[in-house]
Amino acid sequence: MTETTRVVQINYWKEIRKDIQKTIGKLNGLVLLTHNSVEFFDIVDFLNNVRRDEDLNVLYISLINSYSQIKNVLKEKPLFSKKLFVVDCVSGFLVELQDSIDCVYRRPPESLEEMKDLIVTHIQISDSNMIVVDSLSQFINFSMPNEADLNNFYHFLNTMKEKAISITTDTVILLYDDKMGSMQKLPSMFTNMILKLEVIKEKIKWND
């Protein structure tokens, strides 16, 4: 890569990041992660960038990170003004655990319909302004979705807008990570924003 190309690329990304910061800086709503490869550190980055310095309650539905792992990450990288309520759908597979004030242990949903029920139930318990679902990868392969999976996904989004998100706002953000392959079909219906993970990370790859 030549130095000129590199400068153009950096400037491009800086502009994109400015726009993204403006947009996500004001977010509420439902954030759906499409792949299971996103590190929890990056989710913390994202949440810290959303409505900075505002106190927000975030409902985090985890099919990937155990609550114990989440707590370890948060010790190293705190969520400044956000309060997290975790629905841990993974630890219960291995050990019996007691619910606490900021975490409940549940069986993982086996369908998007069950995921919707899980969200609706816990959105009220946690009084959330924002919901993060990590991730939808076991319900739909976003790299190569078939028509039936996409229709099922749209039905889920539509129902979510009716049943749950009206509690907060009607924003749906799809957050994807192309480490797992590119998105062949962008599921844009009922989705307000589709963001690539790279653009919301706090750390940038260049120095000013």
Partner 1 sequence: MTKVMVVDDEHDLREMIDIMMKKEGYITETAENGGDFLNKIDGFQPDIVTLDVMMPGLTTKEILQKLQEKTSKPKIILLTVVRFSDEEKEKILQMGNVVDYVTKPFDFENLLNAIRKHLN
Q: Minimum distance from CB of 108 to partner 1 (Å)? A: 6
Interface with partner 1 (CB under 8 A), residue from 30, 32, 44, 65 = 65
Interface with partner 1 (CB under 8 A), residue from 91, 128, 129, 168 = 91
Within 139-178, the residues that bind partner 1 by CB under 8 A are none
Q: Which CB sits closer to partner 1, 119 or 177?
A: 177
Residue 34 found at the interface with partner 1 (CB under 8 A): no
Size of the site for partner 1 (CB under 8 A): 23
Owner of token pair 């307000």: 192
Q: What's CA 117's distance to the chain center, in Å? A: 18
Tell me 179's DSSP state. Answer: G
Nearest-angstrom CA–CA distance, 25 and 16? 14
Q: Minimum distance from CB of 69 to partner 1 (Å)? A: 4
Nearest-angstrom CA–CA distance, 192 and 208? 32
Q: Which CB sits closer to partner 1, 51 or 106?
A: 106
8 Å CB contact between 25 and 166: no
Strand partners, 131: 30, 59
Tell me the residue ranges of DSSP E strands in 74-197. Answer: 82-88, 103-105, 130-134, 172-176, 193-196
Q: Minimum distance from CB of 64 to partner 1 (Å)? A: 6
Tell me 100's DSSP state. Answer: B
Q: Which stretch binds partner 1 (CB under 8 A): 20-28, 57-65, 116-124, 147-155?
A: 57-65
Residue 74 found at the interface with partner 1 (CB under 8 A): no
Q: Cα-flanking dihedrals φ and ψ of residue 23, to 5°?
A: -75, -55
Q: Minimum distance from CB of 109 to partner 1 (Å)? A: 10
Give the residues lining the site for partner 1 (CB under 8 A): 36-37, 40, 63-66, 68-69, 71-72, 90-95, 107-108, 110, 137-138, 180
